[in-house]
Structure 1
Amino acid sequence: MGHCFQVQEKPSEMEMESRDLRIKITYSSKNSTEKFRKGTVVEVSSDEEGYKGSWFTATVIGSTGSDSFLVEYHNLTMDDGIQPFREEAHARHIRPFPPKVSGIVHFKELQEVDAWYNDGWWEGVISKVINFSEYIVYFSSTNEELRFEHSKLRPHQHWINGTWLIASKGKSCELAMACRDVQVNMNDAGNKSKAKFNLGAMVEVRSDEEGFWGSWYTAVIVDLIGNDKFLVEYQTLRTEDETELLREEADVSDIRPYPPDIEHFYCFAVQEKVDVWYNEGWWVGYISNVLDDLRYRVYFETTNEVLEFEHSDLRPHQEWVDGNWVAASRDWKF
Structure 2
Amino acid sequence: MRDIASSLATWNSIGMPYAIATVVSVSGSAPRLPGAAMAVAADGEAVGSVSGGCVEGAVYELCRDVLATGVPVRESFGYSDDDAFAVGLTCGGVIEVFVSSAPPASVVDAVATGADVAVAQLLDATGAVLMVGAHGTTGTTGFADVDAVVSSEALAMLDSGSSGIRSVRCRPDVEVFVQSHATPPRLLIFGAIDYAGALARLGKFLGYRVTVCDARPVFATEARFPDADEVVVEWPHSYLARTQVDSRTVVCVLTHDAKFDVPLLDVALRLPVAFVGAMGSRRTHLDRLSRLRDVGLTDCELSRLRSPIGLDLGARTPEETALSIAAEFTALRRDGSCLPLVQSTGPIHRDIEAARVS
TM-score (norm 1): 0.25
Greater share of helix: 2
Flag the structure with larger Rg. 2
TM-score (norm 2): 0.24
**Higher RCO, Cα 8 Å, sep 6+:** 1
